[in-house]
């Protein structure tokens, strides 16, 4: 039985490792000033990923932040059955002398079936928009890490 448990443990570890699972990390080599509107979920998520004890090496401007809920599918009776939730933002990265280093539009989309119309509906939407913001942050950090390596 002990051999079976060992094989099962190795199997689970290989499944979790193979799917790309990793723990979130703070980017210890980078800090940046973030300019955005005050209630920006994306700015909050970016700030959590930077090392605030370092001197900022970049200025990041977030503009044109937009969250949309677009009807995607209908059922056989013609009623709405699903939505595409879309988050988009324009991110501009400026170096220490305020030259534009990167200017790019980021967009992330998630499909979801129609949600129930109650309080949990809003909580589910908030969770969806949070996941979309995480996706955009991940995409942006890949670019920022490459930029920091070449600096």
Tens digit of pLDDT for each residue in 69-98? 999 999 999 988 999 999 999 999 998 888
26 band by pLDDT with thresholds 50, 70 and 90:
low
Averaged over 116-144, what is the pLDDT?
87
The pLDDT of residue 93: 92
Domain count within the chain: 1
CATH code, domain with 107? 3.30.160.150
Residue 121, domain member (yes or no): yes
Q: Is 31 a domain residue?
A: yes
Range of 105's domain? 26-150
Mean pLDDT of 44-53: 87
| pLDDT over threshold 90, residue 103 | yes
Residue 62 falls inside a structural domain: yes
The arithmetic mean of pLDDT across residues 58-62, rounded, is 91
In a domain, 131, yes or no: yes
Q: What is the mean pLDDT of residues 38-65?
A: 87
CA distance 74 to 56: 48
Examine residue 33 and state whether it is found in any structural domain, yes or no. yes
- Give the Cβ contact number of residue 74 at 10 Å: 12
Decide if 103 is inside a domain: yes
In this prediction, residue 84 carries a pLDDT of 94
Strands (E), 23-79: 32-35, 58-74
Express each pLDDT in 30-39 by its tens digit.
788 899 987 8
**pLDDT at residue 18, as a whole number:** 65
The verdict on residue 30 lying in a domain is yes
Confidence band for 130, pLDDT divided at 50, 70 and 90? very high
Q: Give the C-alpha distances (Å, rounded to integers) separating 136 from 103, 114, 142.
A: 14, 24, 10
């Amino acid at each position: 039985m002990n051999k079976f448990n060992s094989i099962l443990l190795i199997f689970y570890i290989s499944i979790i490792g193979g799917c790309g699972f990793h723990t979130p990390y703070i980017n210890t080599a980078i800090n940046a000033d973030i300019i955005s509107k005050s209630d920006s979920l994306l700015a909050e998520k970016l700030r959590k990923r930077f090392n605030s004890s370092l001197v900022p090496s970049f200025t990041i401007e977030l503009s044109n932040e937009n969250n949309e809920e677009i009807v995607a599918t209908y059922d056989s009776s013609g009623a709405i059955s699903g939505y595409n939730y879309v988050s988009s933002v324009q991110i501009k990265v400026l170096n220490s002398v305020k030259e534009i280093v990167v200017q790019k539009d980021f967009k992330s989309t998630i499909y979801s079936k129609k949600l129930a119309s109650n309080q949990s509906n809003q909580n589910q939407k908030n969770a969806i928009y949070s996941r979309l913001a995480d996706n955009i942050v991940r995409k942006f950090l890949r670019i920022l890490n490459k930029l920091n390596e070449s600096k």
